[in-house]
Amino acid sequence: MSPQPLGSLHGFAVTFRQIFRKPITQQYPEYKRPLYPRFRGRHRLNRFENGLEKCVGCSLCAAACPADCIRVVAAENTPENRVSAGERYARIYEINMSRCIFCGYCEIACPFDAITLGNEYEISEYSRDDLIYTKDMLLAEPRKRVTIQDPELFDTPIPYYRAKA
């Protein structure tokens, strides 16, 4: 079977039309696209206003996780060492981010809103061991703030070259 000359000409025409258009390249570190309000990024463990942890070590998040990337080991609260508002607390809370699929089931399963998925997405590491987030890492404040776009204004972000025109 011989090659179709009309198909090749059509492909060249598409390529030739793109040569004279402005590029859509965005300078990533300086310009970051706003995120959708329902974006699911890095996990966070939350605290009450009085400093106690919301996580009571019930392991419902670990049971709901389809990737089996959450490990919770519970311990009992004592009167001299009160960590959470419940009878127990999560002594060990780890998430293996290299296995996580960011489905959000852990957030839905938690009855105390102890774990939430934020909007931080720059979570790459050089070592697999660094992708295991411990309880201290999950309780820490996010390092970077990422803007969220207004859902009423945009369905998709407007590229910068069209916004200026």
* 121 within domain boundaries: yes
Q: Quote the domain boundaries for residue 130.
A: 43-139
Contacts of 122 (CB under 8 A, 6+ apart): 144
* 62 within domain boundaries: yes
Please give the pLDDT value at position 78: 92
* 48 within domain boundaries: yes
Please give the pLDDT value at position 10: 86
pTM (predicted TM-score): 0.72
Q: Cα(21)–Cα(32) distance, rounded to whole angstroms?
A: 22
E strands in 21-97: 43-45, 70-76, 88-96
* 97 within domain boundaries: yes
* 31 within domain boundaries: no
* 126 within domain boundaries: yes
Cβ neighbours of 138 (radius 10 Å): 19
* 8 within domain boundaries: no
CATH number at 82 reads 3.30.70.3270
Average pLDDT value for residue range 83-105: 95
Burial label, 93 (beta-carbon count in 10 A; 0-12, 13-18, 19+): buried
Position 18 confidence tier, pLDDT thresholds 50, 70, 90: confident
Q: Cα(8)–Cα(11) distance, rounded to whole angstroms?
A: 5
Residue 55 DSSP code: -
